[in-house]
Amino acid sequence: MGIWIRDIAMSFGYLFLYYSIALNLSYLLMALNSFFRTMGYFGRITWWDFDLVTKSNYTSPISILSPAHNEERNIIESVRSLLSLNYPNYEVVVVNDGSTDGTLKLLIEEYKLELVNQVYKLQLPTKPIKGIYVSTVHCNLRVIDKEQGGKADALNAGINVTKYPLFCAVDADTILEKDALLRIAKPMLEDDTVVATAGIVRIVNGSVVKDGRVVDIRIPFKLVPLMQIVEYFRSFLANRTTWSCLNTLLIISGAFGLFRKEIVIAVGGYSTKTVGEDMEIVMKMHEYLRRRGIKYSIKFISDPVCWTEAPSSLVGLSRQRFRWHRGLIECLISYTGMFLNPRYGLLGMLTVPYFWIFEMLAPVVEILGYSFIVVGFVFQLINYDFLRLLIVASIIFGTLISFIAIILEEMTYRRYQRSTDLLCLFGAAILENFIYRQLSTIWRVRAIFGYFFLERKWGKSERKGFTVPVTDRSGG
């Protein structure tokens, strides 16, 4: 019996080692690829390109959709940000999705909204719209008041009401940089085959917001949002650039993405049956366009910046990661037909299998790895040299990938210019290997069990509100 247990434990130990090597090497290769591609993009892009787009009479107008549910803490600053973008022709459509707080009241008072009788075409089914308001001080601002149906339903309602061929979906707790819309739209304005583009999402916690602008970029004092800054760098700068260059990008963050409306309507709009509607819509577009043999591309652009409020507590973060992993599982299972299907090219043969093996199942493998260590101690099967090598290699690889993402940020966009901020980010890249990473694994494993045991409750998202200057807090 002891020999049998020893053989199984050692076999799993080597399997875990090979899995870890493959996972970390893939992360490292993507990080290096993204580094050189981003540096090349940054060297090619010029303000002259954007100046031409801004002054052109042929620039396609854009509808900005901002679904909001109980967003009274952030909604005014967010809308101010949207109304002051550098783009020649656009409208802002806020969708109040059954808020029970003061979201709608604040919007009515701040922007002098008036109820109108607007006719629109019901292209996507949604919960009933109770009223449509227009601003008397900003001609390009409208607010839709509807019964609560969730974020996906609110986006579909907004698509029905919008009047322009492109729409940009943004969260109501976000702030776009002044040129973000211009930058995210550029690939679609230059190439009709580009059906969607994604911008980068950065964490606003700790920074100072005034009049809808991030006026002073700082790192947060709390460890939880600080760790997330490094995570976001790694996810966006180190990973999505690679999937984009292969034209196999599977997700456009719900916080900031631009789409061709006709394609989104053709695929049936956003799904209300998943918590991962931002990933589901992209996978649905891939499937629809590839099945019909339509030439297209979906791109990630690393310089259009959207600032968002991240969870500042472990409880809030655990809820967010539960939702994210739950959405990942739902989408991958819904589109299992893509898995190792040559009909979908690299998407089916590489990217979808990668997300199954190294994204969805990664927390399970990691938990089993920890279990192997415990069993090894109990039955005295641990090779301590092997264990030390595995732990040290994992920490080095994880830290190196995060370092590459931070260095890339510093060499290109330099949002964090204080040397102390950079030191803190490098420190966070090391610290996240301890406890934080293990907690994230537990949350994602819980999401897997929650999916198969039909757990539907994951709690409310926390909102602290944007940081404003001290004088503004006191009304000065």
Please give the residue range of the domain that contains residue 420: 2-26+352-473
Are 305 and 421 in a shared domain? no
Are 16 and 114 in a shared domain? no
Please give the average per-residue pLDDT across 247-276, as a whole number. Answer: 96
Are 99 and 200 in a shared domain? yes
- As a whole-number percent, the residues of the chain with pLDDT over 70 amount to 89
Q: Are the C-beta atoms of 77 and 97 separated by less than 8 Å?
A: no
Burial class (CB within 10 angstroms; exposed 0-12, middle 13-18, buried 19+) of 86: middle
Are 135 and 284 in a shared domain? yes
pLDDT for residue 291: 94
Angle between helix 436-452 and helix 314-334 axes, rounded to 10 deg: 50
Q: Is the dihedral of CA 329, 175, 198, 237 positive or negative?
A: negative
How many domains, in total, are found in the chain? 2
Q: Are strands 62-68 and 166-170 parallel, antiparallel or unpaired?
A: parallel
Are 18 and 50 in a shared domain? no
Please give the average per-residue pLDDT across 242-261, as a whole number. Answer: 96
pLDDT in tens, 431-443: 999 889 999 999 9
pLDDT for residue 388: 79
Q: What are phi and psi of 144, to 5 degrees?
A: -100, 125
Q: Could you tell me which residues are beta bridge partners of residue 106? A: none
Are 18 and 61 in a shared domain? no
pLDDT for residue 9: 65
State the DSSP code for 338. Answer: G
- 3-class secondary structure, 419: helix
Mean pLDDT value across the chain: 88
Q: Which of 31-40, 212-221, 365-374 has the lowest mean pLDDT?
A: 365-374
Are 94 and 18 in a shared domain? no
Are 21 and 103 in a shared domain? no
Residues, the chain, total?
476
Domain annotation covers residue 329? no
Residue 264, domain CATH: 3.90.550.10
State the DSSP code for 359. Answer: I
Are 357 and 241 in a shared domain? no
Question: What single-letter amino acid sits at 18?
Answer: Y
pLDDT for residue 465: 64
pLDDT for residue 53: 60
Residues 6+ apart with CB under 8 A from 237: 34, 38, 200, 302, 405, 408, 409
pLDDT in tens, 22-65: 988 999 999 999 888 888 777 666 554 566 566 565 689 999 99
Q: Are the C-beta atoms of 68 and 95 separated by less than 8 Å?
A: yes
252 alpha carbon, distance to own chain's centre: 6
Instruction: Quickly state the pLDDT bin for 93 (edges 50, 70, 90).
Output: very high
Q: Compute the distance between CA of residue 414 and CA of residue 406 in angstroms, rounded to an integer.
A: 10
Instruction: Quickly state the pLDDT bin for 392 (edges 50, 70, 90).
Output: confident
Tokens of 160: 């029905």
Instruction: Quickly state the pLDDT bin for 267 (edges 50, 70, 90).
Output: very high
Domain annotation covers residue 211? yes
Q: Is the pLDDT of residue 472 over 50?
A: no
State the DSSP code for 214. Answer: E
Q: Are the C-beta atoms of 151 and 253 separated by less than 8 Å?
A: no
Please give the average per-residue pLDDT across 396-424, as a whole number. Answer: 89
Q: Is the pLDDT of residue 458 over 70?
A: no
Q: Is the pLDDT of residue 205 over 60?
A: yes
Q: What are phi and psi of 10, to 5 degrees?
A: -70, -40
State the DSSP code for 127. Answer: S
- The pTM score is 0.91
Domain annotation covers residue 32? no
Instruction: Quickly state the pLDDT bin for 473 (edges 50, 70, 90).
Output: very low
Closest Cα to residue 353, out of 364, 343, 341? 341
pLDDT for residue 410: 84
Q: Are the C-beta atoms of 318 and 447 separated by less than 8 Å?
A: no
